[in-house]
Structure 1
Amino acid sequence: MTRFIKTALLFTALTFARPNTTFAQATNKYKCMIQMTNYMGEGAYVVISLINSKNAYEKTLYVLGPDKKWYNSLKEWHKYQAKKKDNISAITGASVTGGDRSVNVIEIDKSKIDAGYKIRFESAVEDKAYHVKDLEIPLTTEALSAKSEGTGYIRYVRFSPN
């Protein structure tokens, strides 16, 4: 019985001593609401990316658009994705059409907030213009609590803690 208790205590100590367990969450979850402009045409494919201080892609946060054959219309992100090969299966949803809105949950690493990063919204619609920077938001606590205006198919974006 003593050996069992020692093993159980060791297991418990190792479980709680490990860094990055579920007890020490390293990300914040945000609801990201995207309101689209009233354009005519097919649904927009939108990719939400984390951009570092050197203006380079660091991570794909979410993809609106389920059909991989159209990902090449998001030209700059597609170049990054072809090299990096992020697993995006869990962060992919439906495209969004003109005038509609989409609400998705994205995870952002806490260490990236207020550290010189940006969130880029890249958008494309079949047979229409491509917007590499439909919207770029500085990844700051202040910007995450504000309404941000898009310049292409996106009218505005709002974040709220999830």
Structure 2
Amino acid sequence: MKSLLKIYLIGTFLFCITFQSNAQTSKYKCMIQMSTYMGEGAYIAVSLINPKGEYEKTLYVMGDDKKWYKSLKEWNAFQSKRPANISAKTGASVTGGDRSMTTLEIEDSKINSGYKLRFETAVEDQKYYVNDVEIAMTTQNLAEKTEGKGYIRYVRLNKI
């Protein structure tokens, strides 16, 4: 009887771990239209910000030369404290006037729960924008175009 109970408890535990690690996610096509500016390509960090205003997760980084990550000051401080393997979440930097298309995977539980998407930008020898674009993750906001404050002209997300 004890071994049957142990098997049941272990099975329940494994099921719970599997269920938590396979949280329901949705994919969003993310189009970033850059403003026209002179200079190098912008490095952009796309982060999930929790309801307390703290970084929770890196969703994507545009700019693949790690030596320039320090120019994304706030994101780099987070990444330095809680290093994560972002090699599969990186792409090329984006120059003035260009646009970039990528796919972001977002946990459904984060939507309509006080979370935000932050697009942090930096360009070599130019101004740094900690929140060039910040989108409150509501169903409505994720379906609208959001204007940028710096190098990003606007961001548009479409659920795939």
Measured against the shorter chain, the TM-score band is: 0.7 to 0.9
Superposition RMSD on alpha carbons, in Å? 1.7
Structure 1: 5+ residue stretches without partners: 1-13
Equivalent in 122, 125, 128 of residue 124 of structure 1:
122
Count of residue pairs the alignment pairs up: 146
CA–CA distance in structure 1, aligned partners of residues 92 and 39 of structure 2 = 15
SS at match of 1:70: helix
Mapped to 2, the partners of 1:20 and 1:36 lie a distance apart of: 39
Amino acid in the other structure paired with 1:117: Y
Whether 1:53 and 2:57 are equivalent positions in the alignment is no
Matched, 1:98 2:96: yes
Corresponding residue number in structure 2 for 1:20: 19
Q: 1-side partners of 2:158 and 2:109: how far apart?
A: 18
Q: Which residue of 10, 32, 35 maps to 1:34?
A: 32
For structure 2, list consecutive stretches of 5 or more residues without a partner in the other structure: 1-10
Measure how far apart 1:20 and its partner are. Answer: 3.4
Does the 8 Å CA contact 2:23/2:107 hold for their aligned counterparts?
Answer: no
Partner in structure 2 of residue 143 of structure 1: 141
Q: Secondary structure at the match of 2:40?
A: coil
State the 4+ residue runs in structure 1 displaced beyond 2 angstroms. Answer: 17-22
Structure 1 contact 49–58 (Cα < 8 Å) conserved: yes
- Give, in whole Å, the separation in 1 of the partners of 2:101 and 2:56: 23
Q: Matched residues, percent identical?
A: 61
CA 1:139/1:151 → structure 2, altered by over 3 Å: closer, same or farther?
same
Q: What is the CA–CA distance in structure 2 between the aligned matches of 1:64 and 1:77, rounded to whole Å?
A: 13
Q: Deviations over 1:84-119 (max 9, x none)?
A: 101101110000000000000010011000000000
Give the counterpart letter for 2:143 in structure 1: S
Alpha-carbon distance in structure 2 between the residues aligned to 1:158 and 1:20: 31
State the match for 2:3 in structure 1: none
Q: Quote the offset at 1:48 in angstroms.
A: 0.3
Q: Is this contact kept in 2: 1:20–1:26, CA < 8 A?
A: no
3-state secondary structure, aligned to 2:84: coil
